[in-house]
Amino acid sequence: MPANSHSMQSCHIQSYNQPAMGADVLITRMSRLLSMCLTALFVVTFFGPSAAHAQDILQRQARLPWWERAEEKKIGHYWIKTDVEPELANSLARHLNLMYEQYAQRLASLPSREPEKLNVMIFAEHLEYQFVLRTKFGVDGTGSGGMFFANPSGTALAFWIENLPRRRIEHVLQHEGFHQFAFSRFGAELPPWANEGLAEFFGEAVLVNRKLVIGQTTPRVIKRIRDAIELNEHIPLRRMLTMDGQLWGAQVRRGDAALQYHQAWSMVQFLVYGDGGRYVQAFENYLKMINAGYTSEQSFIRAFGSPDIEAFEKQWKEFVLQMQPSAFVTAMERMEFLAAGALHLREQKIVPETLEELKAKLRAVGFTYTLGAHGVETVLNADDDSLFVIFEDDLSDQQPVFAVGAIDLRRATFRERKLAEQHPFPCGIQTQHLQPHEISVRWVRDEDEPDAFTFRIEVK
């Protein structure tokens, strides 16, 4: 895909001997490829090639190759090799280790099967990510924001940073980090529905003050699964359970990839939360039996004590039909849309002062923002009123809202305040009355270009 196109996220487990198709050809040619998963590329047009680009290339040519330049260090459970700033590397390492505790807590009873050396490669630039993966490991990282791969040349979780919003990076890290963890417990034998369903379960979670806000979702995802159930377009559960990596990959390419991942996620959600947690133990037993070498169907029937998978499907459908979206993760997604929009306007020297003004200006320029999920793009369009509001949910005690205004510079340094007079920040955006936590956009000014910014969505 073109480097300046909007986002795409693809994610699939592949087994060797898989039929060669498109971008997977190279992967298929690799000998004894065990499993891999690609996630979350997120490139937005306004991060396109700049005038400094040629200069960058010259500088790049003059320095040592990434492999020699990047430092390696063990932090907690992970061996981290990276060329990013130590502060960022440490913060990502902390995030990874907190996620490790979450994976381990939920799969505590499973013994390790593969020797656990958890390698992580964090690249400052996505071109170097692609280059190192291709030349050192024979892996094609085109179009991916990160992946976990395991092949005879090595095993690692790899992802890149560049200008991606932190939330995108965290999604990749949490999703692919689960695949890496699962590989140490199951080898390549965890059925794709459970591997992807759990990876999405963790990928969508938000880590706040060392605690994971988990199990939440947006109206968009719920609607997609519900529509599929109502139109009878969902994948029958029996088929989901028995699909191997090869079938899963083929179906992702042929069918509705987003639905397949959403459905896997909803099945995990059902097993964890359905009927007040009634199935958690059986789900754990299912995973234990897979870990011990039984097939998916055998494990399911034994763990749930019944061969009647159709009855089980009925309960899953009922669960999905009454699922409620959550305000917090929906606000996270919409905040990302609003921040990307504010950044886009700032590039045209527009800094709105109210939410209404932000909305009007974004509409005037026809702003859209693309979220990627598994090869299917979801375009968020400024014409959609719902993107500017938050709804109440079980946790709300008051109607949550987005608030837009000038950035508070009272705590900024003198230098920063002077700089902001000449080169103003994009508009500030935050929530009010959002539970369990308020969120806001933090703008980070580029050190070399005072009019260039990136953003983080911060949880209070």
What is the contact surface with Zn ion in residues (CB under 5 A)?
11, 37, 196, 199
**Encoded tokens for 117:** 């050396």
For the CB of residue 426, give the shortest distance to Zn ion in the complex, in Å: 33
For the CB of residue 221, give the shortest distance to Zn ion in the complex, in Å: 16
Q: Which is nearer to Zn ion, 133 or 301 (CB)?
A: 133
Q: What distance in Å separates the CA atoms of residue 326 and residue 93, rounded to the nearest whole number?
A: 28
Q: Which of 400, 186, 155 is nearest to 288 (CA)?
A: 186
Q: Which is nearer to Zn ion, 11 or 150 (CB)?
A: 11
- Tokens 């109210």 — which residue? 354
Q: Which of 199, 264, 241 is nearest to 37 (CA)?
A: 199
Q: Which is nearer to Zn ion, 11 or 34 (CB)?
A: 11
For the CB of residue 147, give the shortest distance to Zn ion in the complex, in Å: 8
Q: Which is nearer to Zn ion, 12 or 167 (CB)?
A: 12
For the CB of residue 133, give the shortest distance to Zn ion in the complex, in Å: 16
For the CB of residue 301, give the shortest distance to Zn ion in the complex, in Å: 26
Q: Which is nearer to Zn ion, 253 or 433 (CB)?
A: 253
For the CB of residue 233, give the shortest distance to Zn ion in the complex, in Å: 22
For the CB of residue 115, give the shortest distance to Zn ion in the complex, in Å: 22
b/e per residue 47-76 (b: at least 16 CB within 10 A): beeeeeeeeeeeeeeeeeebeeebeeeeee
For the CB of residue 421, give the shortest distance to Zn ion in the complex, in Å: 46
| Rg value, the chain, Cα | 22
Q: Which is nearer to Zn ion, 146 or 352 (CB)?
A: 146
Q: Which is nearer to Zn ion, 14 or 431 (CB)?
A: 14
For the CB of residue 30, give the shortest distance to Zn ion in the complex, in Å: 18
Q: Which is nearer to Zn ion, 141 or 400 (CB)?
A: 141
SS (H, E, C) the chain: CCCCCCCECCCCCCCCCCCCCHHHHHHHHCCCCCEEEEECECCCHHHCCCCCHHHHHHHHHHCCCHHHHCEEEEECCEEEEECCCHHHHHHHHHHHHHHHHHHHHHCCCCCCCCCCCEEEEEECCHHHHHHHHHHHHCCCCCCCCEEEEEECCEEEEEEECCCCCHHHHHHHHHHHHHHHHHHHHHCCCCCHHHHHHHHHHHHCCEEECCEEECCCCCHHHHHHHHHHHHCCCCCCHHHHHHCCHHHHHHHHHHCCHHHHHHHHHHHHHHHHHHHHHCCHHHHHHHHHHHHCCCCHHHHHHHHHCCCCHHHHHHHHHHHHHCCCCCHHHHHHHHHHHHHHHHHHHHHCCCCCCCHHHHHHHHHHCCCEEEEEECCEEEEEECCCHHHHCCCCCCCCCCCCEEEEECCCCCCCCHHHHHHHHHCCCCCEEEEECCCCCCEEEEEEECCCCCCCEEEEEEEC
Q: Which is nearer to Zn ion, 37 or 268 (CB)?
A: 37
Q: Which is nearer to Zn ion, 201 or 316 (CB)?
A: 201
Q: Which is nearer to Zn ion, 11 or 122 (CB)?
A: 11
For the CB of residue 172, give the shortest distance to Zn ion in the complex, in Å: 10
For the CB of residue 37, give the shortest distance to Zn ion in the complex, in Å: 4
